Amino acid sequence: MKRILLVIRRELAIWTKRPVYLLGSVGVMALSAIFFLTFFSQGLPEKLPIGVVDLDHSSTSRNFTQQLDATQMGRVVDFDDISSARREMDAGRITSYVIIPEHFDADVQSFRCPKMEIYVNTMYPVIGGALAYKDIAFMVNLTNGAVQRQVLRAKGVPEGEIMARIQPVVIDAHNIGNSPASYAYYLNNMVLMCILAMCIMLVVSYSLASELKYGTSKQLLRISGDSLAVALAGKLTPYTLLFTVLGFVLQLIMFGPLHYPLAGSVWVMLLATLLLVLATEAVAVFVVSMVPTLRISVCISALYSVLAFSFAGFTLPVTSLPAALRGMSCIYPIRFYYQIFVREAYFGSGFAGWWPMCVCLLLFGLLPAIGSKRLYNAYKYQQYPRN
Amino acid sequence: MDAKKTYFGKWVADAWSVFVNELKMISRDGGVMLIFLFAGLVYPPLYHWIYSRGVVEEMPVAVVDLSNGIYSRRYIDKVDASSECDIAFKCLSLEEARQLMAMGKVHGIIFIPEDFDERLEYVEQGVVSTYADMSTFLYYKNLTLATNLVMLDEIHSIQAERYAAAGYVGQDAEQLIEPVQNNSFLKYNPNISFTMFFIYMAMMMILQQVMFYGSSTLAGTLREQGHGFLPQDGRGMGRVVLGRGLAYLLIFVFLGAYGAILVPHLFNMPAQCRWSDILVLLLFYVTDVIFFSFTWSSAIYKRETVLVLLLFVTPIAVFLTGFTWPTSNFPVFWKYVSYVFPSTFGCRAYMTLCNTGSLAAIAPEIRAMTLQTAVYFVLASVAAYIENRFSKSF
């Protein structure tokens, strides 16, 4: 115990001498948090640019354009001809465009069913195109509704029945866990925790392997009484504390002042954060013990961490991965954190929902045991190339 | 020997020796080779493979049908028939369905109240409630798309039935139901697959990040060993920057052609343009990325720290390309920050080029990248100059 304290003190002294440890953890997380928490602050994109090519110039077509412009989602950009609208859309400067045909007004009045053409650039940032399309389709439907309403009124259909005739079926949509379909709620928690896991991988493997590069590992073993377990416990305690506190602060900011939706208990999220930190540290120890060279182990940690964004399953669900790759997601602690997060923050499922994932995260704790002999030898004899 | 050379001859010889030296250093450095080979060669096909499906198909959905009539069953059957949703469970209560969703067995719930059919028979509005699992936007998209498309279809059928009952059939009814029609053309990515957005962005991003981390690691190594890049006589930062740049250009035009032309071709990604057009874009982009990396790597003094300190820039640069969040909606400050990265223009240009097939469409991005290249070239040269003066003063 006393030896562990000595190692901890030694580690803290290293922190003060070399700024990379604090910059790589606190600095990185602070900058990331500032970026992601402000970048998505709007929640859902508004006022997406939608092109309108009005070939009719009638009051009906102008009315349509104005209504479209007034929707929260859309902002109308006027074009005189189709080719320039097409060019702008191809270059990604507008999401989509609508062509209002000539004689539109006259055709509507005389029931000749004019056709509007809607072109959508579905490559426009993921939801941009889809949202704009939804917006235009909605306006077209409203226009239809308005015309139908006129006809039905003229036929003397009672006012109460008109809406039921125009739209007999309506959908009352509920979004569980993220009712405004906000991008911030959807992405920020997971992206920030992914970056936290990335920092843990990098900083911990850097810290463990730099003992080898700078030839200080023998001294470390001497302080810890020739026991790798004591050395690791001492070295990792400050990191565990540091990263857990960072994770807690982020969770509390999101669920506290920023009011991110949380169906369950914030304590569970803190527990999940602690387990994520421990499991990720275990992976980092494993990497260093397998490849006890500073430059290579840091590279491997980086290459491994970058893929976590894809394998965690919050962008593309794991079930949509090719069958051969699905298993890959299990080597990422963040995958299990994500499952706890969904169960607790979205559904509030309680202990019954998330305990299996906690067990999985704890199992990562066994990883360092596999390579401990190898790491001990590396520390003791420094027989690997330093660079 | 040297004395006989003209200034120009010396310049070329210097640049050449810097070029050869840089290639040697790259090939001898295990860490850099790991970044270049693994990230440069393995990531492109890996990402294509990961995102090869890109959409969720037949997402399991639970249905609570309390009405159990003709209309409600028809609605459910149509949702089941869609490629987006699969009716996996029929529940007796909303509570049961909610529990299935909380356990992750279904990702959406469709609730049809008792009076649904009755209301439709009485010419009132029938309400269908949907509950979407928001843990992934793809689930949300699937449920919304399927239930809304079926709703529109149902509106059509029900209205047609009613007008038929009122004596309007054929074209008369059609004119009443849809007085304004529309044709929709969902261009380039008709099923709104996630793959398409991600892959184009990722291929360009990989080039930039690999180049940056690789060359910074090397720069860090050199500075750890206590010398910079300049030839011993200390003259000419221009030839050093150019000589080193050429070395990377050689490697990255190859990596770029591999990641942006060959791999997408093997994975059948759509590209409307000629491969030579992509090559032109790559030349501009890679040059830009090289000087970008030189400039920023001037600040790296230790080899391993670059990954520890700056890997988090990758996800930020990814979001700054605007591939998920539209550029038109960036907060102003971040919009300006995005101009720092070549990837902001490179990814957009590559995506546009692959979709529209003409270099003319990406002229603004090419212009921006050229400007960036010029600025970064000057900055990189100045940084090399300052470093040289600084190190000589010892």
A302, A205 contact by CB (below 8 A):
no
Output the 3-class SS for B103-157.
CCCCCEEEEECCCHHHHHHCCCCEEEEEEEECCCHHHHHHHHHHHHHHHHHHHHH
Q: pLDDT value at position B190?
A: 66
Give dist(CA B227, CA A223) in Å, integer: 36
pLDDT reading at A359 higher than 90: yes
On whether both A160 and A76 belong to a single domain, the answer is yes
Q: Is A176 a member of any domain?
A: no
End-of-domain residue from the set A112, A139, A166: A166
What is the chain B residue with the closest CA to A184? B325
Which of B132, B179, B320 lies closest to A151 in space, CA to CA?
B179
What are the Cα distances from residue A72, in Å, to A40, A141, A367? Answer: 17, 17, 51
On whether both A247 and A271 belong to a single domain, the answer is yes
Q: Is A209 a member of any domain?
A: yes
Length of chain B: 394
Assembly ipTM: 0.88
Q: Is A177 a member of any domain?
A: no
- Over range A103-118, report the average pLDDT: 85
Which of A281, A364, A312, A302 lies closest to A193 in space, CA to CA?
A312
Torsion (CA) A98, A101, A103, A104 in degrees, nearest 10? -40
- Over range A10-25, report the average pLDDT: 90
On whether both A130 and A255 belong to a single domain, the answer is no
What Rg value do the Cα atoms of chain B yield, rounded? 29
Q: Where are the domains of chain B?
A: 13-52+193-392, 59-177
Q: Is A93 a member of any domain?
A: yes
Q: Which two tokens stand for residue A85?
A: 């609208």
What are the Cα distances from residue B1, in Å, to B4, B83, B92, B142? Answer: 6, 76, 94, 74
Out of A46, A169, A313, name the one closest to residue B126 (CB). Answer: A169
CB-side exposure of B167: number of CA atoms within 13 Å?
0
Q: pLDDT value at position B185?
A: 74
For residue B63, the surrounding DSSP H or E stretch is strand B59-65
Give the pLDDT confidence of A307-323 residue by residue, as tens digits: 999 899 888 888 888 88
Give the distance between the most distant pair of CA atoms in chain B.
104
Q: pLDDT value at position A128?
A: 58
Q: pLDDT value at position B232?
A: 47
Tell which A residues from 154 to 213 touch B, by Cβ distance under 8 Å.
161, 163-165, 167-178, 181, 183, 185-187, 191, 194-195, 198-199, 202-203, 206, 210, 213
pLDDT tens-digit profile, chain B (394 residues)? 455 678 788 888 888 888 888 888 888 887 888 888 888 899 999 999 988 887 888 999 999 999 999 999 999 999 999 988 999 999 999 999 999 998 889 999 999 999 999 999 888 889 999 999 988 888 888 898 889 889 888 988 888 888 888 777 777 777 777 777 777 777 666 666 777 778 888 999 999 999 998 888 888 888 877 665 555 455 566 777 788 888 899 999 999 999 999 998 898 888 888 889 999 999 999 999 999 998 988 888 777 788 888 889 999 999 898 877 777 788 889 999 999 999 999 998 998 888 877 888 888 899 999 999 999 989 988 887 787 777 654 4
End-of-domain residue from the set A140, A166, A192: A166
On whether both A230 and A338 belong to a single domain, the answer is yes
CB-side exposure of A145: number of CA atoms within 13 Å?
16
The CATH class for the domain spanning B59-177 reads alpha beta
On whether both A256 and A306 belong to a single domain, the answer is yes
On whether both A250 and A337 belong to a single domain, the answer is yes
On whether both A127 and A265 belong to a single domain, the answer is no
Name the residue range of residue A273's domain. Answer: 2-41+182-381
Give the pLDDT confidence of A74-107 residue by residue, as tens digits: 889 999 899 999 888 877 788 888 899 999 888 8
**Cα of A101 to nearest chain B Cα, Å:** 11
- Spatial strand order of the sheet with B59-65 comes to A169-176, B126-133, B108-112, B59-65, B85-91
- Over range A245-273, report the average pLDDT: 93
Query: B27 in helix, strand or coil?
Result: helix
Q: pLDDT value at position B114?
A: 93
Q: In this predicted model, which residue has the larger pLDDT, B182 or A2?
A: A2
Q: Is A172 a member of any domain?
A: no
Output the 3-class SS for A278-334.
HHHHHHHHHHHHHCCCHHHHHHHHHHHHHHHHHHCCCCCCHHHCCHHHHHHHHHCHH
Q: Best mutation site among B34, B135, B206 for testing chain A: the one with the most A CBs within 10 Å?
A: B135
Q: What angle do CA A71, A72, A77 make, to 5 degrees?
A: 65
What are the Cα distances from residue B343, in Å, to B284, B314, B379? Answer: 12, 10, 18
On whether both A62 and A116 belong to a single domain, the answer is yes
Flag the least confident range among A53-67, A118-132, A166-180.
A118-132
Specify the number of domains making up chain A.
2
Please report which confidence band the pLDDT of residue A43 belongs to, taking 50, 70 and 90 as the band edges: confident
End-of-domain residue from the set A166, A200, A216: A166
Give the pLDDT confidence of A209-236 residue by residue, as tens digits: 988 888 888 888 888 888 889 999 999 9
Q: pLDDT value at position B394?
A: 43
What is the chain A residue with the closest CA to B194? A126
Q: pLDDT value at position A129?
A: 64
In chain A, the N- to C-terminal Cα span, in Å, equals 33
* Pairs of CB atoms within 8 A across A/B: 331
Please report which confidence band the pLDDT of residue A198 belongs to, taking 50, 70 and 90 as the band edges: very high
Q: Is A251 a member of any domain?
A: yes
Please report which confidence band the pLDDT of residue A255 belongs to, taking 50, 70 and 90 as the band edges: very high
